[in-house]
Structure 1
């Protein structure tokens, strides 16, 4: 029994607490596909997706990183079928043109602004903002861009995006950008696939460090990961990833990578996507809490209690049946308690570790 365990039988009085601050969701893309800013009123009630105001209250969801992402054409049914196999290697979409990406980023930024205008979220630019918003009647939201396709090589757009509220950025979403290369949806595989950051990518890392924009490593390949580790002065953070030792998927982090994250005093948010959780890599939702706890145990063992959180990928991935929406988060809290995690550790995983690492990333 590890140091992070306590005696079995200790329970929380209310499994809606501690509130969850989540490392990644794709709500903005879902609302974009549902009609854009005009779809924002649907956020008030459940039944439209994994995250909404009503479900957040029921499940004790306090906010998180709201991702801006540029979709690529994909045959979802073919992708899901392929990811039922014993092994697979999904081809990545082609690079997205900057003009196309810029238009999508502007629309999703407008959706986030409309969520704020209608009183659903508070877009947070500092940790003080987060602490003030967290636990209020609105969700605390960090503006995150997943894939830097909307940026030109000279990064001239970055300062304006920062002024609009951008505080977290992933240089790639798996597909190639002018800044670097990501990992494909490949199983079994490591992320040691192809070259790392370009010269523009290295400049992006340095400028994000200067501005106080947190870099997200979740979709970068291993070469890009190590380029960031050598270049950045900030903590290494993967907002929505899992342990490769539990599920040998290209999207998950090896022990060597986890050790580097620990050394930098960064953190990892555990991804709920079924294919990245399951040891067999299959995109099937019959995933028990025991599998998630195996990932958490492994991450805690490599990173320590202060460097592990949650990064659900809600509204962007197939997640375990028992955690289909944020209203179901009490199931995960109860599983952690039943597994022997103490109250202090559960609070760290649910939100405290995110606030800690952001204080260092944004300083």
Structure 2
């Protein structure tokens, strides 16, 4: 297997936010030409086999341009109008990238669109909202955003909104941390099911997870989460949650964040052994089956192991999977096939 040519479909990144905020701060980045500040750009994607993924539109708190957000401010609720405006700007940025790319980047609305983009060697972007603050209580924004190309929603980030409550980042800790979905949150899940919009369980607390399990008629999906039994971060999934995902024929995307991988939760250890990532993958395969595991890097939104570093470094993870005895077909499933099958099972 040529690791550099193996396509990677990645369930989560924050590249659109990085591009938008850099432009607002007066230091724009070029996605097509590449920028050392980005984990994902077009040159790195081509180098590492990154074929596409769910591109998140995450709305940080209001802050002065150029300033780093205070961690506590990240968990405070934000206003819908601000969230919609920034989401709109990130969506427009994705559309502009595609329009100016000479068909090297495509906004994809379905698994069929993604397959065609991969066949044509075009980078596939499927639009995702991380935290549904942009959506109003009357769901008017949901209709607008879906029509514009939105195909995936995480009802909450790690803060509360009108739909539910996010899980905090505490380590160690349990994801059982507060109330679940609100009635509006349950209605959001039903409406997304009707529109074939994916519901992402990453960042939901445990009660919210089980509320989605009870309300949704789609396979359960956590785009960028890891194994709680191996790393006791509240952001990770318990064995009971993994069993529910398996029963629904759902999927978990491996998060590359060091703090959600290491057993001690120490996110400063940039030289982390990639075997730890494979430990999580092997555990997920055991609990979910070979069809239930994918990748969800969180590139451009977290600190990743130095041995990977960016989308160009994905072949290093593939090599480590090979060294651990993962067969070529299982690796291909984890790299991209399972994501495409999951999208099809979800109606996309």
TM (norm. structure 2) is 0.94
Distance in 2 between the 1:77 and 1:38 partners? 18
Change in Cα spacing, 1:304 to 1:109, as seen in structure 2 (3 Å) is same
Q: State the Cα distance separating 1:38 from its structure 2 match.
A: 9.6
Secondary structure of residue in 2 paired with 1:35 = helix
Distance in 2 between the 1:250 and 1:236 partners? 18
Secondary structure of residue in 2 paired with 1:185 = coil
User: Which string of whole-angstrom CA distances, capped at 9 and with x for unpartnered residues, describes residues 36-78 of structure 1?
Assistant: 6994644322423100111111111101000001012688597
Distance in 1 between the 2:128 and 2:92 partners? 13
Runs of 4+ in 1 over 4 A off after TM superposition: 73-79
Name the structure 2 match of 1:350: 335
Change in Cα spacing, 1:316 to 1:357, as seen in structure 2 (3 Å) is same
Q: State the Cα distance separating 1:92 from its structure 2 match.
A: 5.0
Distance in 1 between the 2:31 and 2:330 partners? 35
Name the structure 1 match of 2:347: 362
Distance in 1 between the 2:46 and 2:110 partners? 24
- Residue 325 of structure 1 is aligned with which of 288, 310, 317? 310
How do 1:124-203 and structure 2 match up within 5 A?
124-203=108-187
Question: For the Cα contact (< 8 Å) 1:46–1:54, is it kept in 2?
Answer: no
Question: For the Cα contact (< 8 Å) 1:23–1:64, is it kept in 2?
Answer: yes
Name the structure 2 match of 1:62: 51
Distance in 1 between the 2:238 and 2:5 partners? 31
Change in Cα spacing, 1:294 to 1:181, as seen in structure 2 (3 Å) is same
Q: CA RMSD in A?
A: 1.8
Change in Cα spacing, 1:77 to 1:165, as seen in structure 2 (3 Å) is closer
Change in Cα spacing, 1:174 to 1:137, as seen in structure 2 (3 Å) is same
Distance in 2 between the 1:263 and 1:41 partners? 43
User: Which string of whole-angstrom CA distances, capped at 9 and with x for unpartnered residues, describes residues 325-349 of structure 1?
Assistant: 1111110111011110000000000
Q: 2:13 aligned with 1:31, yes or no?
A: no
Secondary structure of residue in 2 paired with 1:54 = helix
Q: State the Cα distance separating 1:324 from its structure 2 match.
A: 0.8
Unaligned runs of at least 5 residues, structure 1: 1-11, 80-89
Question: For the Cα contact (< 8 Å) 1:22–1:63, is it kept in 2?
Answer: yes
Secondary structure of residue in 1 paired with 2:252 = strand
How do 1:259-338 and structure 2 match up within 5 A?
259-284=243-268, 285-338=270-323
Unaligned runs of at least 5 residues, structure 2: none
Name the structure 1 match of 2:85: 103
**Range with bigger deviation, 330-339 or 45-54:** 45-54
Distance in 2 between the 1:77 and 1:155 partners? 29
Q: How many residues align?
A: 341
Distance in 2 between the 1:77 and 1:335 partners? 35
Q: State the Cα distance separating 1:94 from its structure 2 match.
A: 1.0
**Range with bigger deviation, 151-160 or 176-185:** 151-160
Secondary structure of residue in 2 paired with 1:355 = helix
Distance in 2 between the 1:38 and 1:77 partners? 18
User: Which string of whole-angstrom CA distances, capped at 9 and with x for unpartnered residues, describes residues 159-190 of structure 1?
Assistant: 11111000000000111110000011100011
Question: For the Cα contact (< 8 Å) 1:26–1:316, is it kept in 2?
Answer: yes
TM (norm. structure 1) is 0.90
